[in-house]
Amino acid sequence: MLSRVADSIYWLNRYIERAENVARFIDVNLHLMLDLPVGMTEQWQPLVYTTGDLELFQNRYGKLNAENVIQFLTFDWDYPHSIISCLQRARENARSIREIISSEMWEEVNDFYLMVKEASSGKPLDALPKFFTQVRMSSHRFAGVMDATMTHNEGWHFGQVGRLLERADKTTRILDVKYFFLLPSAEWVGTPLDQIQWIALLKSASAYEMYRKCQHRITPSSVAEFLILNRQFPRSIHFCLWQAEQCLHEITSTPVGTWCNGAERSLGRLCAQLGYLTIDDIIQSGLHEFLDQMQSSINEVGNQIYATFLALDNC
């Protein structure tokens, strides 16, 4: 298949998944805020912090408040990772490969884009939770339609790899929100408020119910374990990377466990590493540091995929 086409389907899926996860971030923060004890000031900084674009935000908006942060992350045409920008780029990519994807997929992307675009013209703050739910559902619908209407061929696998890498990356960032969200003081760790915050975080990753089924008690380390190492939960980092690895090997026909290019090697190594880690190892080396490391490893996998399959000038 054409490299450009593979590139477009890969990014189509990444952008849709990214839009979904930005909605999840904001959602977790909105919920955390509602549960704050009276007198505590709202914290919007963690949200921008986890995106890695704090400086850009401060240059453009200055004040860190709900309105600015939500505008920045949701409806800012000039911020490339806002929900609306993601959708616009997803749609451009879809349009350039319309003869490759199913028409149902195109319709989903188009409707999704139009929905966000319409919402961008003045949403009151209290209508937002509903809007973020719509964004999440639209993303799920797209994934479902793609799964059910497109041949599971090379292109489809490139799309999956894009979606799964993006999801793994964003799960690390959702976990990081909690790291940056400051409790009034260290003594609050383990209190009901702390509990409530972890629950909100699980809910934002659609993980609360699934977590309860296998862990019962909510402790920071088992929540982290669930979202990082669980082999069955579809938003856990390990699950996403392992699935992405399967897809990558479908594309190249190399057996899993071996490699013939940089992409397979970097992803295989990362999966093997996750497969033999325990949560205690992670906590010992520092959760935030681990997540940081994870983000750059996932980026490296992305770079390798680009260099191996997609770069137009590599041939």
Partner 1 sequence: MQLEAYDPEDFYDELFLAKGQPRSHSASLIKWMQNLGIEQLQQHQQTAQIALFKLGVTFNVYSDARGVERIFPFDIIPRIISAQEWQKLERGLKQRIAALNLFLGDIYGEQQILKDGKIPAEVIYSAPGFLKPCLGIKPPTGVWCHITGTDLVRDRDGQWYVLEDNLRVPSGVSYVLENRRVMKSTFPDIFQTMLVKPIDDYPSHLLESLLNLAPPYLPNPTVVVLTPGIYNSAYYEHSFLAQQMGVELVEGRDLVVVDGYLQMRTTKGLHRVDVVYRRVDDDFLDPVVFRPDSLLGVPGLMEVYQQGRVALANAPGTGVADDKVVYAYVPEMIRYYLGEEPILSNVPTYLCWQEKDRDYVLKNLDSLVVKSANESGGYGMLVGSTATEAECQQFAQRILANPRNYIAQPILSLSRVPTLIDDRIEGRHVDLRPYIIHRGEEIYVHPGGLTRVALKKGSLVVNSSQGGGSKDTWVLTSEAATSKPTNNQSQS
Q: What is the DSSP code (8-state) at residue 186?
A: G
Between 59 and 253, name the residue whose CB sits nearer to partner 1. 253
Task: Work out whether 1 is an interface residue with partner 1 (CB under 8 A).
Answer: yes
- Which lies closer to partner 1 via its Cβ, residue 99 or residue 187? 99
Nearer to partner 1, 35 or 107 (CB): 107
2 binds partner 1 (CB under 8 A): yes
SS3 state at 312: coil
Establish if 4 lies at the interface with partner 1 (CB under 8 A). Answer: yes
Judged by beta carbon, residue 4 or residue 152, the one nearer partner 1 is: 4
Q: In whole angstroms, how close is the CB of 16 to partner 1 at the nearest point?
A: 18
Instruction: Note whether 309 binds partner 1 by CB under 8 A.
Output: yes
Among 158, 226, 233, 242, which residue interacts with partner 1 (rule: CB under 8 A)? 158
Residues 6+ apart with CB under 8 A from 170: 17, 18, 21, 24, 25
Nearer to partner 1, 7 or 20 (CB): 7
- Compute the distance between CA of residue 236 and CA of residue 217 in angstroms, rounded to an integer: 18
What's the chain's Rg over C-alpha atoms? 19
Q: Does 181 bind partner 1 (CB under 8 A)?
A: no
- Closest contact distance (angstroms) between CB of 241 and partner 1 is 21
Write the CB contacts of 46 (distance below 8 Å, at least 6 apart in sequence).
29, 177, 179, 180, 181, 182
Q: Is 188 in the site for partner 1 (CB under 8 A)?
A: no
Q: Which residue's structure tokens are 């937002």?
A: 128
Within positions 205 to 264, which residues make up the interface with partner 1, using CB under 8 A?
251
**Contact pick of 42, 154, 194, 300 for partner 1 (by CB under 8 A):** 154
Burial class (CB in 10 A: 0-12, 13-18, 19+), 245: buried
Q: Find the binding residues for partner 1 in span 97-126 (CB under 8 A).
A: 98-99, 103, 106-107, 110
Least distance to partner 1, CB of residue 147, Å: 21
> Can residue 96 be called a binding residue for partner 1 (CB under 8 A)?
yes
179 binds partner 1 (CB under 8 A): no
- In order of 5, 249, 307, 309, the CA distances from 315 in angstroms are 15, 21, 10, 10
Q: Kindly report the number of other CB atoms within 10 A of residue 38's CB atom.
A: 4
Residue 310 touching partner 1 (CB under 8 A): yes
- Judged by beta carbon, residue 100 or residue 218, the one nearer partner 1 is 100
Number of shown-chain residues binding partner 1 (CB under 8 A): 21
222 vs 261, which CB is nearer to partner 1? 261
- Written as one letter, the residue type at 9 is I
Report the Cα–Cα distance between both ends of the chain, in Å, rounded. 14
Q: What is the DSSP letter of 266?
A: H
Q: Provide the CA 301 distance to its chain's centre, in angstroms.
A: 15
Which is closer to partner 1, CB of 103 or CB of 278? 103
Q: Which segment (88-96, 127-135, 173-181, 203-211) binds partner 1 by CB under 8 A? A: 88-96
CA triple 271-273-279, angle to 5 deg: 110
CA dist 57 and 48 (Å) reads 8
Which residues bind to partner 1, rule: CB under 8 A?
Answer: 1-4, 6, 92, 95-96, 98-99, 103, 106-107, 110, 154, 158, 251, 309-310, 312, 315
